[in-house]
Structure 1
Amino acid sequence: MTMKRFAYALAAASAVMIAAGSSAIGDDCPEKDTKLKLPDISNDYPTNVRADYVYGCMLVNGMTRDVVDRCSCSIDVIASVLPYDQYEEAETILSVRQRGGESVAYMYGPLFVEKVSNLKRAQVEGEVRCF
């Protein structure tokens, strides 16, 4: 057998082994037949929203490890009490109100006041449970 034929035979054998190995690996993989199941969290808030809340809470209450834990607990309580879409609406209302003036007077209507009150109640619940 010449060196050239040996190289071709070796390459062919390697290709067969690689193909057989990859199919065998796929058969043994448990993720192939089952889908990744995530916990069902119906009122989960985005990570950046949670981090922003914790950061603001720490600015108000101090920059200690204990405060990080308490602020994290607080946003978890808020998330369990208030769905994210309601939290987002209330935060938006509060943000728009900061502009001030007549152009934002409608933000003090009964519907908007109720949304902000729901957020404040959830925040108080978080403070009571965590602080």
Structure 2
Amino acid sequence: MKGIAMIAIKTLGIATFALAAIGFAFPAAAGTRYPTNVIAEYVYACMKANGENRAVLDRCSCSIDVIESILPYERYEAASTFKQMGLLTGENSALFRESAPAKAATAELRRAQAEADIRCF
């Protein structure tokens, strides 16, 4: 009986170590948190548009936090890409402005930004 208990404890220890290693490799919030550079870029652009002082820094930080709570990163990234590519000129950029996925993604981002404006500004 002692041998079986020791094997079970060793197996449990190895499984726990493996799960911990996976947890460090893939944090639970990895799919929901925005990358730091995306947050910094948003706050920087927000401050350029609204003023460069501490109060605006706090409001812009709040704004991206609200957007992050509404939109998963993948949808934020898609909407930002459509928005940025839609600023290009020429026939090819029409796809990024006029397609149904582009309109849906940018509308979703605008709604999240409007909610952030209400809560933070």
TM-score bracket for the superposition, by shorter chain length: 0.7 to 0.9
- CA drift at 1:40: 4.2
Per the alignment, residue 12 of structure 1 pairs with: none
Report the Cα offset of residue 86 of structure 1.
Answer: 0.5
In the TM superposition, what whole-angstrom CA distance separates every residue of 1:17-62 from its partner, at most 9, and x where no partner exists? xxxxxxxxxxxxxxxx8x5978843520000000000000000110
Percentage of matched positions with identical amino acids: 46
Q: Provide the C-alpha distance between the structure 2 equivalents of 1:63 and 1:105, rounded to a whole number of angstroms.
A: 34
- Provide the aligned C-alpha RMSD in A: 2.0
Partner residue of 1:124?
A: 114
Query: Structure 1 length as normaliser, TM-score?
Result: 0.68
TM superposition shift of 1:94: 1.2
**Secondary structure in structure 2 of the residue aligned to 1:76:** helix
* Residues in 2 aligned to 1:109 and 1:52: alpha-carbon distance in whole angstroms: 26
Counterpart for residue 10 of structure 1: none
Structure 2 length normalisation: TM-score?
A: 0.74
Report which of the two structures shows the higher radius of gyration computed on alpha carbons.
1
Name the counterpart of 1:78: 67
Alignment-mate amino acid for residue 68 of structure 2: A
Alpha-carbon distance between aligned partners in 2 of 1:49 and 1:111, rounded to the nearest angstrom = 22
Q: Aligned partners of 1:51 and 1:94: how far apart in 2?
A: 18
CA distance in 2, matches of 1:82, 1:50: 13
Aligned length: 99
* Residue from 82, 104, 116 that aligns with 1:114: 104
